Amino acid sequence: MKVVSTLIAVMSMYLFSILAQAHGDEDHGAAPVAIAVGGAPRIAVYSDLFELVGIVENGAMTLYLDRYVDNAPVTDANIEVETGSEKLIATANPDGTYRVVAKAFAKPTEIPVTFTITAGNDSDLLAGDLVVADAHADDSHVAVSPFANKWLIGGLTVLAILVLIARFAIRQRRRQKVGMFK
C-alpha cells in the first residue's frame, strides 16, 4: 500500500511540475509590441509632409497616403512609383487610395521602392525596401504547439497513475478472495 501511494504521489508531483510554466527575471512592465506575422507584404515610409503605406496583393500595390502632421488622407496627389527598372504612375481609386501594378510585386523578392509624391504645392520623395515573401514557403511544415509535448507527457502520467491504481485494486480483491476461502 505504501509503495503504491508513494508512486502515486511522485507521479502526481511529476505531472504538475511538467505542466507548470516557470519564467525568469522579468520585470512584468509594459507588454512588448506585437509584430504582425503573415498577411500581405507591406511597406511604410514617411517624412515631415507625408506618410505612405503600401500593401501588395496579387501583384498590385494599394497605397494609403496621408499628411504626417494630422493623418488627413491625401486624395489629390500624383504618385510615381519606381521599383528597380520600372517607373510607374499610381492611379487614384474612388475610396481615396491609390493602386499601382508592377511585375516586381508578383514574385518573391526584396526590392527598393521609391515614391515621388506631388500634392498641390507639396512634393516629397519617400523610399523604402519591400519584402515580398514566397506565399508557399511555410507550407512545408506543420506548426506544433509548445504545449503539445507537455500535454502528452501529462496524459501519459495520468494514465500510468490510473493503471497503478487499477493494479492495486485488483491485487486487493484477489487477496480478499483468497482470504475468504482459507
Q: How many Å separate Cα 96 from the centre of its chain?
A: 30
The per-residue pLDDT for 101 is 92
Phi-psi region of 151 (alpha: psi -120 to 50; beta: other; left: phi over 0): alpha
Number of other residues whose CB lies within 10 A of the CB of residue 45: 19
Residues in Cβ contact with 100 at an 8 Å cutoff, skipping those fewer than 6 apart: 60, 61, 63, 79, 81, 88, 89, 90, 91
The per-residue pLDDT for 28 is 60
How far apart (Å, rounded) are the C-alpha atoms in residues 170 and 33? 57
The per-residue pLDDT for 18 is 63
The per-residue pLDDT for 163 is 86
Average pLDDT by stretches of 10, the chain with 182 residues: 69 67 60 58 91 91 94 93 90 93 85 93 93 64 61 80 85 75 58
The per-residue pLDDT for 69 is 93
The per-residue pLDDT for 45 is 94
The per-residue pLDDT for 164 is 83
